[in-house]
Structure 1
Amino acid sequence: MTEVTLSGRLICATADEALRVRAALPAHIVLTRAEAGCISFEVTETDDPLVWNVSERFTGKAAFEAHQVRASASDWARETAGIKRDYVVDGL
């Protein structure tokens, strides 16, 4: 089975967007790390208070796709709708 990785940045346009990310992120991290097939999941602030580095590893395509489905229906998705993502996915 080929691991699937996602890496990149979450880029807020405003301080309000950044506040929404900070509020919703802790629960999103806990829920994602608890998913079957999640190897690692890191979202870390950069020196720019509007930008986060994102790094995800899943055991394979099915686990990654299950994460995408769960995350798209979550509070995280609602709170961060419209915030720019600059991601690269490998292994699909």
Structure 2
Amino acid sequence: MSKVTLEGHILVPVQDLKQILEALPEHIELTQAEPGCITFHVQQSSRKPHRFDVYEVFIDREGFEYHQSRVKESRWGAITSNVIRHYQVSQES
């Protein structure tokens, strides 16, 4: 199996910040409970409150794809439709 890692950040529009902050704990909890999730961290920047650093590690491509699919259909997916994503995805061999 090859671990999949996603690293980067999102930039949240001002008008969406409150709603995203309210939904973030549930998003983290649901993701960490996924069977393929090894590590999942989302941290709001202390210097730039509209930036959230993201670090995810999944056991394999299947676990990563499951997460992506689940998020698209979730409340989190709906309320983050306006965020700007800056991600790099890598896979270990």
TM-score, L = length of structure 1: 0.94
Aligned to 2:73: 73
Unmatched tracts of structure 2, length 5 or more: none
Q: Which amino acid aligns with 2:35?
A: A
* CA contact 2:12–2:82 (8 Å) conserved in 1: no
Q: Distance in 2 between matches of 1:69 and 1:9?
A: 19
Q: How does 1:12-91 map to 2 (within 5 A)?
A: 12-14=12-14, 16-46=15-45, 47-91=47-91
Q: Which amino acid aligns with 1:33?
A: Q
Q: Distance in 2 between matches of 1:90 and 1:56?
A: 11
Q: Distance in 2 between matches of 1:12 and 1:29?
A: 17
Unmatched tracts of structure 1, length 5 or more: none
1:2 Cα deviation from its structure 2 partner:
0.8
Count of paired positions: 91
Identity percentage of aligned residues: 37
* CA contact 1:9–1:51 (8 Å) conserved in 2: yes
Aligned to 2:9: 9
